[in-house]
Structure 1
């Protein structure tokens, strides 16, 4: 099976998600992440960023909360996240990977694999194992590292 590839539209929406991460309230204990849920037509259904509504919010969580769970557009949607969706959390019982898997969203695009600074992450592997298409866009990872430079020493 060949790896899924990012389109120029994917890169544009991922850059927009990275832009959202710059709005995150600062934290020394969590990454600054932006996320966008886009419909099959590329239109933005919802967006979010870490700590937007609550100090413990993750970006994907905030974005998914803004879309009705039964919205039929989710079946053809893509979620864009500047950082790989987490597979474990210290602050809440549900990881972002679990939240995504609770939806029919078939496709996930992210820029940077989560480093093991806070937790070990296997979000991409779990999403793929569940049959979701996962696209990593590493050429945009440096933009995400820049936003989180304060955590990287």
Structure 2
């Protein structure tokens, strides 16, 4: 299941508005087929994996799928539950049940009734790989990642506002890779006016993966940019499961103050600025005890001379 969850990264974010699901077929200890949700949401992962096998190729195999096979018919394609039943694997292992009421346990139950063994895991890796989908289902908003690039002493710019570049080339390339994994990218009005950021992906071969641009402002939307007036309106960003917030300090603080950040990405350069512009404005914290226990480390790596740390919100 962990391998299937890793494979699902290939579907993000191209699969939207559908979840980025992955499926592996294993027989005699070997992966014999794999698939993930294709661009635009179809075909689904199970359909892709099973299409790579001939008639009877799935017999005796175990199908690992990160999300419960869909149980509803669609004009865009068949129900994956029917495809799985027709293929006849010996066993189906499901990472997470689908919260969509059109499936919601019915897919797993129909497969069981067809005589195929079904195991539902409630697997953490599968859930993490579908974080945008589950955040939408549970909170009616996208999964929010807040990115901060700062000096060792927590500054994002000099006192005069100059900020290019805090981090090095490797860290900046990593940021662009993260942009390519998100449906939309957001900055505040002050950052937009001061820096005129392009907010695109500038990695060879991934330029087409640039996310939708969103501005947190009360002003008029510039051409090709969506505008929201406050963080709570992110739920209105249709088709967005993954939102990347890049700042500045006031916008970042506003998302933290409203507890809308699910993941923190912190890039720290080995420099000291001193009297510079801080990475965060007031987030409304009044008791130091309330700051503890909210974040758990999930990843750390070296990017050239810079360090990258990721933290997940503990809910």
On whether the aligned pair clears a TM of 0.5, the verdict is: yes
Runs of 4+ in 1 over 4 A off after TM superposition: none
Aligned pair 1:19/2:6, yes or no? yes
**Unpaired segments of 5 or more residues in structure 2?**
142-315
**Unpaired segments of 5 or more residues in structure 1?**
1-13
SS in 2 for 1:88: coil
Determine the C-alpha separation between the residues in 2 that align with 1:17 and 1:132: 20
Higher-Rg structure is 2
Determine the C-alpha separation between the residues in 2 that align with 1:106 and 1:139: 20
Q: When the two structures are aligned, how many residues end up with a matched partner?
A: 135
- The superposition leaves residues 8-62 of structure 1 with CA deviations (integer Å, 9 ceiling, x where unpaired) of xxxxxx11111111110424421110000111x120000000016x751100000
Q: Are the equivalent residues in 1 in contact too, given 2:93–2:118 (CA < 8 A)?
A: yes
Determine the C-alpha separation between the residues in 1 that align with 2:123 and 2:133: 16
Structure with a larger share of its residues in helix: 1
CA RMSD in angstroms, aligned pairs only? 2.1
TM-superposed deviation, 1:146: 2.3
Partner of 2:36: 49
TM-superposed deviation, 1:69: 1.8
Instruction: Say which structure, 1 or 2, has more relative contact order (CA 8 Å, 6+ apart).
Output: 1
Cα gap change, 1:134 to 1:149, in 2 (>3 Å): closer
Determine the C-alpha separation between the residues in 2 that align with 1:55 and 1:145: 14
Cα gap change, 1:142 to 1:70, in 2 (>3 Å): closer
Report the more deviating stretch, 97-106 or 136-145: 136-145
SS in 2 for 1:67: coil
